Amino acid sequence: MLKEFKKRVIGQDHIFNTVCSYIKIGEAGLAPDNEPRGAFLFLGPTGTGKTETAKVMADLLAVPLIRFDMSEYSNPTKWLNDFAFKLEGKEKGIILLDEIEKGAKEIMDYFLQILSEAKITVDRKERNVRNFYIIMTSNIGSKNLLDQNFKEMKFTVEIRVRGYFRPEFLGRFHRNCILCFKPFDYDTITEIAHLKVRQEIKRLETHGYSLTYSETIIPKLVFYVSLDRDLGARPLVQAIQEIFPAALLDSGKKSGRFDVRNGHIALL
């Protein structure tokens, strides 16, 4: 499992050693009886793999990913009702709360019970999350820190997080389950570009195409990351998803190699 994490989410190896250790404990049924199988708070810049890690985890464990975009939940009651609805009929899974800080602060009060008792009561009905993993992501404190080294950035983020979240909330997480993702350097972005190009080609080939790519396109793609470093690898992924299908359709071909022609990526 550790190898698969490292292959599918680039540049965050320090995260997966901890995550895999807790997954082993959880899957063996050895997590504390009054807690979910695992609970993690993922910190760090946008576009560094926090949400992708949750997706890979759900895929590897073959369980549903139950995702909440917390920016949609200014009303805590709405979140609680949606939480109960989305868990209905599910015995296990990954509960992902993206950008937890954007939801109503009262929602964190619910997690004082959920993280310490693995259950919560909604409409007089008890919802048990003993067999679930809970992942929260947050970008708090990570903006405008990309020029710091990782150790300095991590320290700054953790200070800002402690200033935002209540101690009793942070205290519900095991100490080493509050994890900070690294911003990407050039080599890591290059590796991610290769990974995402291969994934996009594989996706396009399910539509009956036969495709390869030249390494000359990689620096061209990496350039998109430099346009807004605060977004991490997200502009790179979006560029690949836009450029490759367009180049494929413009060529009118069923097979070929993606390469640079006249300064643009094209299918030759």
Q: Which residue segments constitute the domains of the chain, with CATH numbers given? A: 2-180 (3.40.50.300), 186-267 (1.10.8.60)
Confidence tier at 175 by pLDDT (50, 70, 90): confident
Q: Is residue 159 scored above 70 in pLDDT?
A: yes
Give mean pLDDT, residues 77-85. Answer: 92
Q: Is residue 227 scored above 70 in pLDDT?
A: no
82 vs 107: CA distance, rounded Å: 12
Rounded to the nearest 10 degrees, the angle between the axes of helix 217-227 and helix 234-251 is: 130
Percent of the chain with pLDDT over 90: 55
For residue 141, give every residue at least 6 positions away whose Cβ sits within 8 Å of its Cβ, in sequence order, or none: 43, 156, 157, 158, 159, 160, 161, 164
Give mean pLDDT, residues 47-74. Answer: 93
For 120, what's the count of Cα atoms within 13 Å in the CB-facing half-sphere? 20
Q: Is residue 263 scored above 80 in pLDDT?
A: yes
Q: Is residue 218 scored above 80 in pLDDT?
A: yes
Q: What is the pTM of this model?
A: 0.81
Q: Is residue 136 scored above 90 in pLDDT?
A: yes
User: What pLDDT was estimated at residue 186?
Assistant: 82
The helix or strand, by DSSP H or E, that contains position 41, with its residue range, turns out to be strand 38-43
Bridge partners of 259, per DSSP, are 266
User: What pLDDT was estimated at residue 73?
Assistant: 95
Tokens of residue 34, six digits = 């009054």
42 vs 161: CA distance, rounded Å: 11
Average pLDDT of the residues of the chain: 88
4 vs 201: CA distance, rounded Å: 20
Is 212 in a helix, a strand, or coil?
strand
User: What pLDDT was estimated at residue 228?
Assistant: 63
Q: Is residue 147 scored above 80 in pLDDT?
A: no
* Lowest mean per-residue pLDDT among 6-10, 82-86, 223-227: 223-227
User: What pLDDT was estimated at residue 62?
Assistant: 96
7 or 228, which is more confident: 7
Per-residue DSSP letters for 60-108?
Answer: HHT--EEEEEGGG-SSHHHHHHHHHHHHTT-SSEEEEEETGGGS-THHH
Q: Is residue 71 scored above 90 in pLDDT?
A: yes
170 or 151, which is more confident: 170
User: What pLDDT was estimated at residue 55?
Assistant: 94
Confidence tier at 152 by pLDDT (50, 70, 90): confident
Q: Is residue 155 scored above 70 in pLDDT?
A: yes
DSSP E strands in 184-248: the ranges are 210-213
Is 211 in a helix, a strand, or coil?
strand
Round to the nearest angstrom and report the end-to-end CA distance of the chain.
38
How far is C-alpha 62 from the geometric centre of its chain's CA atoms? 17
Q: Is residue 143 scored above 70 in pLDDT?
A: no
* Lowest mean per-residue pLDDT among 2-11, 63-72, 77-86, 256-265: 2-11
User: What pLDDT was estimated at residue 182?
Assistant: 86
Q: For 36-51, what is each residue's pLDDT tens digit? A: 999 999 998 888 889 9
Residue 168 phi, psi dihedral angles, 5° rounding: -70, -25
